Structure 1
């Protein structure tokens, strides 16, 4: 039985057997299952299975990370089970309706994620003004101060317009028409009308006075309703008249409906949510902070933290402070501390390096690589991170630590958001969460990742390497030829992005290997070096190649774009074809893919990472296709890599 067949049988057994599988698909790196019961899958056993790099649950989908062998494992599973279509062409299978809660979280994250840079940038300016007020750097009545205040406040005052634009994109309606709806309810004359007092009506219907600036829920309800009105009108109005009458009628229906219904209802809901969290902390203090801090990482894992983001924004708008985000700081620093404890205790050099780097990224507010790549993999450190988060949260609850602006992420970059009366307690809570988690991890210990057999300093309690690891070591033994360093060019024109910042745990956690990513602004993927194309995704969204210097690369256009099943992609080369640096490999329609709601971040992964000693980024910020992007320092390479 081949290695892939053994992996296939083991995976099938450990996900609960054939009877637990509704559908199975695959992309370039992962088997994607829709299981009848995710709890029947033994994730711990799967992650220790030879040939399996890890597991992940995305929404209702159970993913088993395989790597380059995923097509072969997929085929082997189809040989022994009666599902999946027997072909990689059957990529996603029948659509499965999400449960309402998962769908709501997906909507919230899809709307608010694009807004975070604007909120963070404006929030940082507001935070700097708070520092200026505290230290007397600038007179509050100076024109410079007033202009800076406008820059900081503008994003939040006109937040309904930003939300409307993003929500329309998510709901599939006109983004500019949505912005027009938000602009109408923010119009100064409407504000002046509200300020006069007295009864206000529209066609005899009562209009409730609501403050729409900085609001969240009223505009969400309005744009959700607008998406249905637009679709209805587009269905019945003739094409020649749509440009005029669809926008006009949508505005005439939705703006009054917002003033009469969506605004008052949304305002009440928003005030209730913001007030509820405030009541919890004000009345439960240390207990509320302990519970929220100890469970926040679990909330983040489920994606439910996205439901808290609009509540935090509402709280800032209604009360000028928020209790939720500081507790996220404590939880994130707890996970960072736990990973740092792994760094201190582990005897595996490669795993120590991974732990240190992911600890730093968690301190910056990016916790997924630390949680999925280290802490959850070892289990006990994840528990230690929860303990540290709980202790930090308890301190925050006890002293009612607040943030006063939306600035940076929920980590060290967001510290300016805490500047205010409770700032000192905020810093203490973060430090304590980190330290407690690190100490608990170090003292409690964990089952270390085995050091490869070739290294002689393995710890006494290390277990033997898994079969796949042993085979990897054995296969690497004949490496005899030193070759020159390799520079890889950018495969696309766009913006460089660190792999740790990619919103996909498989890439960010370096399960497939080290690398770098580009967010493309042009729809061409070019060869980053001379080499041979050795694999093409059936769904056309990814290409694998081996460079002349022996680097094995995976270039994956977008995240979860496998679901497009090749739509909007065009392959320009064939498997086995020799290519030169800069030669186009794939073409894709950027606008269509983005309009379909996909993140176009394109990772370039070195899948034979162990053969290289160092990975140095050569590019940052904006970059053109063909410009140097990544330098690989080669340790050793098999003679075959040179073409002998």
Structure 2
């Protein structure tokens, strides 16, 4: 019988073992991981953290130090916040310049790419749960309208659909918040700048279609609702503008002039250069997504689903979320990323089923089936990866085979996600008219993963487990 975990003590021990509060720049979380940004990862005692009961693993990637906690995450994260006053994304602004200088490394193509991915991923992460919530509400409304067509004409539908669309429509504001927290800037400045792209003064000019100038400079009129890249560029500009004005404005006038200078200069650049540039980049990405979905889609989905267990273990799967979000905005569907995420989770569950079928003890069989249920129905894979599949090695081959097979089938049948949802079988309605194709791919991923794992017989490898 597993001992009952003391979450308050675990929170205290984890913070101490990562180097204490003085070594923590910020702390956040996803569904299963406590994510730290540390001033120095060398001060963290990774070996000791891994030995703690309830800890499934430790991953360092993309500038984040992640403690994998699975279902134990929510109470531990809450305990960390209460005990140490470490809120999500909190940074120490006064030491920002010093910390950046201390950790400065030679610029290479790899380091630059990792920095960009880390910035984009951290910017999007805070709004993921909101996107999922809105997407699932849209699915619920769709189901109700299928049962009662007249529901779409009611005020109830109108109001609730507005709630469902809000996170997507105001995406630039939420992206700006996450980006500012990642950079260590003042979020409200970036959010004001992003919100100005959605303000009626600007959108009315877009609707009118007449030529517009700002200080004599031409403004390219585009719609930025549900956009991602413009907010990322504008927030980056706001961060450096804030630093600049903090340096040149005397202390007595900072509270009056720093914010004024930051939002004004940022949005002169924003309206004239940055927002249009982000819009164009988004359109080019849409062309790439359309190419992938229309040509090499089956191969792309299969390869990504097969690689995802290793991306999840390194934490780099979060770097794909921005592309998923951008695809849902333009071209309006995701034929690669979310399908691969869902099929990977199904394959993890299928591999656990294969382990259960070969299990020599009732305890292991029960554990494997319970974790398989968590993968398939709840969409949580870390317990499967670290607790069942990775220690036995060969089930990971089953996971990759199942993900690849399901991905190829999904691509060939044209499965596409149209709204954001979580990676669980309960989210199949997000595929809308391609739901049958997605369901077939899910079955293929589970069956192939279970069958390959069963044939490879992982119990031969771990007779003592």
TM-score over 0.5 for the pair: yes
TM-score by length of 2: 0.75
Give the Cα separation in 2 of the matches to 1:412 and 1:249.
Answer: 49
The yes-or-no answer on 1:359 pairing with 2:372 is: yes
The yes-or-no answer on 1:167 pairing with 2:179 is: yes
Find the partner of 1:270 among 282, 287, 290. 282
The unaligned stretches of length 5 or more in structure 1 are 1-21, 33-46, 48-52, 66-93, 451-461, 466-644
The unaligned stretches of length 5 or more in structure 2 are 1-39, 69-101
C-alpha deviation, 1:372, in angstroms: 2.3
Find the partner of 1:399 among 413, 426, 450. 413
Find the partner of 1:380 among 394, 400, 425. 394
Aligned to 1:556: none
C-alpha deviation, 1:412, in angstroms: 2.4
Give the Cα separation in 2 of the matches to 1:30 and 1:448.
Answer: 30
Aligned to 1:197: 209
C-alpha deviation, 1:350, in angstroms: 4.5
Aligned to 1:74: none
Aligned to 1:105: 117
SS of equivalent residue, structure 1 residue 176:
helix
Contact between 2:120 and 2:319, CA under 8 Å: does it hold in 1? yes
Contact between 1:293 and 1:330, CA under 8 Å: does it hold in 2? yes
Give the Cα separation in 1 of the matches to 2:64 and 2:339.
Answer: 31
Structure-2 change in CA distance of 1:274 and 1:357 (3 Å) = farther
C-alpha deviation, 1:298, in angstroms: 3.1
Give the Cα separation in 2 of the matches to 1:61 and 1:176.
Answer: 24
* Greater C-alpha Rg: 1
C-alpha deviation, 1:180, in angstroms: 0.9
Structure-2 change in CA distance of 1:63 and 1:218 (3 Å) = closer
Contact between 1:55 and 1:62, CA under 8 Å: does it hold in 2? no
TM-score by length of 1: 0.55
SS of equivalent residue, structure 1 residue 206:
strand
Q: Which has the higher strand share?
A: 1
Find the partner of 1:30 among 25, 48, 70. 48
SS of equivalent residue, structure 2 residue 295:
helix
C-alpha deviation, 1:95, in angstroms: 5.0
Give the Cα separation in 2 of the matches to 1:393 and 1:415.
Answer: 15
C-alpha deviation, 1:105, in angstroms: 3.4
Deviation readout 1:151-170 (Å, 9 max, x if unpaired): 11111111111111222111
Find the partner of 1:120 among 108, 120, 132. 132
SS of equivalent residue, structure 2 residue 179:
helix
SS of equivalent residue, structure 1 residue 421:
helix
Q: Which has the higher helix share?
A: 2
Aligned to 1:346: 359
Aligned to 2:243: 231
Spell out structure 1 runs of 4+ moving beyond 6 A: 60-65
The yes-or-no answer on 1:141 pairing with 2:153 is: yes
Comparing 187-196 and 409-418, the one that deviates more? 409-418
Give the Cα separation in 2 of the matches to 1:96 and 1:240.
Answer: 32
Give the Cα separation in 2 of the matches to 1:24 and 1:226.
Answer: 32
Give the Cα separation in 1 of the matches to 2:149 and 2:311.
Answer: 40
Give the Cα separation in 1 of the matches to 2:153 and 2:172.
Answer: 28
Describe how 1:15-414 pairs up with structure 2 within 5 A.
25-27=43-45, 30=48, 56-59=58-61, 95=103, 97=105, 99-323=111-335, 324-363=337-376, 364-407=378-421, 409-414=422-427
Give the Cα separation in 2 of the matches to 1:162 and 1:63.
Answer: 23
Contact between 1:339 and 1:374, CA under 8 Å: does it hold in 2? yes
Comparing 162-171 and 94-103, the one that deviates more? 94-103
The yes-or-no answer on 1:434 pairing with 2:446 is: yes
C-alpha deviation, 1:254, in angstroms: 0.8
C-alpha deviation, 1:64, in angstroms: 12
Give the Cα separation in 2 of the matches to 1:101 and 1:303.
Answer: 15
Contact between 1:161 and 1:183, CA under 8 Å: does it hold in 2? yes
Give the Cα separation in 2 of the matches to 1:221 and 1:276.
Answer: 20
Structure-2 change in CA distance of 1:429 and 1:190 (3 Å) = same
Give the Cα separation in 2 of the matches to 1:256 and 1:177.
Answer: 14
C-alpha deviation, 1:385, in angstroms: 0.5
Give the Cα separation in 1 of the matches to 2:64 and 2:170.
Answer: 37
Contact between 2:352 and 2:369, CA under 8 Å: does it hold in 1? yes
Contact between 1:392 and 1:433, CA under 8 Å: does it hold in 2? yes
Contact between 1:165 and 1:179, CA under 8 Å: does it hold in 2? yes
Give the Cα separation in 2 of the matches to 1:284 and 1:163.
Answer: 30
Describe how 1:412-423 pairs up with structure 2 within 5 A.
412-418=425-431, 420-423=432-435
Deviation readout 1:247-280 (Å, 9 max, x if unpaired): 1111111112111111111112122223212211
Structure-2 change in CA distance of 1:105 and 1:361 (3 Å) = farther
C-alpha deviation, 1:28, in angstroms: 7.8
Describe how 1:430-579 pairs up with structure 2 within 5 A.
430-448=442-460, 462=463
C-alpha deviation, 1:97, in angstroms: 4.5
Structure-2 change in CA distance of 1:54 and 1:157 (3 Å) = closer
C-alpha deviation, 1:335, in angstroms: 1.2
Would you say how many aligned residue pairs link Structure 1 and Structure 2? 383
C-alpha deviation, 1:447, in angstroms: 4.3
Give the Cα separation in 2 of the matches to 1:184 and 1:54.
Answer: 44
Q: CA-atom RMSD, angstroms? A: 2.9
Contact between 1:387 and 1:437, CA under 8 Å: does it hold in 2? yes
Give the Cα separation in 2 of the matches to 1:61 and 1:304.
Answer: 10
Give the Cα separation in 2 of the matches to 1:64 and 1:173.
Answer: 26
Aligned to 2:5: none
SS of equivalent residue, structure 1 residue 410:
coil
SS of equivalent residue, structure 1 residue 319:
coil
C-alpha deviation, 1:339, in angstroms: 1.6
C-alpha deviation, 1:221, in angstroms: 0.8
Contact between 1:375 and 1:381, CA under 8 Å: does it hold in 2? yes
